[in-house]
Amino acid sequence: MLERKQLKGRTQVTFVLPTDTPEGPVSVVGDFNHWNPAAHPLEPQGDGTRATQVSLPMHSSHSFRYLAAGDYWFNDPTADHHDGTNSRIHT
């Protein structure tokens, strides 16, 4: 799930997944972090989800995917668009 909050000239995007789906560590990777799995790991939240936040320029478009343990890549079904391989978000 994607949550957005408008800030001064930027959009704060929160990437949210259930705690146990999939099992193990998960990161969001995309063109905004040079596809670096260490840049934005999802952390457990008090409501039973995992989440991480990324600040992106307003009126921009970005490709991303999730990377879980065991080199398991997957897309976000709530993304704004899918280009075949990646999820896409528009801020």
pLDDT of residue 12: 97
pLDDT over threshold 90, residue 84: no
Q: Are 32 and 22 in contact (CB under 8 A)?
A: no
Copy the structure tokens of residue 16: 């949210």
According to the CATH classification, is domain 2-79 in 1.10.10.10? no
The 10s digit of each residue's pLDDT in 57-82 is: 999 999 999 999 999 999 999 999 99
pTM, two decimals, is 0.92
State both tokens at 50: 């995992």
Cα distance between residue 36 and residue 82, in whole Å: 20
Mean pLDDT score of the chain, rounded to an integer?
Answer: 95
